[in-house]
Amino acid sequence: MSYNNTLILVSGPSGSGKTSLMRRIMSNEVVSFTTRAPRPGEVEGVDYTYIDKNTFEELLKNDGLAEFATYGDESYGITAEEFSNKIARGNAFAIVNIDGKEQLERLWENTVSIFVYTSGEEAKGRMVNRGDADASVAKRLSTFTDELNNMSFYDYVVENPNGDFEKTIETIKEILRAEGVIL
């Protein structure tokens, strides 16, 4: 495994556009496991690997997770195997919360962390447009301010306002090029 490969850790509130942005920039995504049900349009093994809570607990108990976090009533994590496979292929990115970011930074030295945000109103609109249930939108917006308070812990902070998606992509590419990440 090449320790020169960079792991890009991307966080931000729900609806900030972090996943859509990074998928336009890079293809080597470290895919998380989750205990939540798929949203409309999500694809098994692409967006997440969906597992039940018992399976998640087994992975946790057997040290099978490189990182894990609880968000609301659901659990999320990246298996050690998934992490190793993706970082061995080259530069990779992972969508994580602050806890996952900190865990992966301890695991892998060569990281770049980026916090992506937008306004609360824009985030709400994006969640509604992607088909999130009203209760899910309300729950995710309830943590919006707390998540924004974490941005100072990241190497870079990038705003993703509505209408500037291509400009935001270019901003992230510039950051990655400045960090020596070959795209």
Q: Return the amino acid letter for 162.
A: N
Dist. CA 6–CA 119, nearest whole Å: 29
Task: Compare 41 and 20 and report the one with higher pLDDT.
Answer: 20
Task: Compare 141 and 156 and report the one with higher pLDDT.
Answer: 156
- Are 45 and 7 spatial neighbours (Cβ–Cβ below 8 Å)? no
**Is the pLDDT reported for residue 180 higher than 90?**
yes
What is the length of the chain? 183
Q: Which of 28-32, 67-71, 79-83, 127-131 has the lowest mean pLDDT?
A: 127-131
Burial annotation 153-170 (CB, 10 A radius, 16+ → b, else e): ebebebebeeeeeeebbe
* Residue 80 domain-assigned (yes or no): yes
Backbone angles phi and psi of 22, in degrees to 5: -65, -35
Q: For position 131, what pLDDT does the model report?
A: 73
**Is the pLDDT reported for residue 31 higher than 80?**
yes
* Residue 52 domain-assigned (yes or no): yes
Q: For position 1, what pLDDT does the model report?
A: 54
* Residue 152 domain-assigned (yes or no): yes
Q: Return the amino acid letter for 133.
A: A
* Residue 125 domain-assigned (yes or no): yes
Which is it for the CA torsion 166, 167, 169, 173, positive or negative? positive
pLDDT tens readout for residues 144-169: 888 889 999 999 999 998 889 999 99
* Residue 159, CA atoms < 13 Å, CB-side half-sphere: 8
Q: For position 144, what pLDDT does the model report?
A: 81
Share of the chain above pLDDT 70, in %: 97
Domain holding 126, by residue range, is 7-178
- Are 10 and 114 spatial neighbours (Cβ–Cβ below 8 Å)? yes
* Residue 183 domain-assigned (yes or no): no
Domain with 161 in it: what CATH number? 3.40.50.300
Q: Return the amino acid letter for 14.
A: S
* Residue 2 domain-assigned (yes or no): no
pLDDT tens readout for residues 98-126: 999 999 999 999 999 999 998 778 777 77
* Residue 26 domain-assigned (yes or no): yes
**Is the pLDDT reported for residue 50 higher than 80?**
yes
Domain count, the chain: 1
**pTM recorded for the entire structure:** 0.89
**CA 123 to centroid of chain Cα atoms:** 15
* Residue 1 domain-assigned (yes or no): no
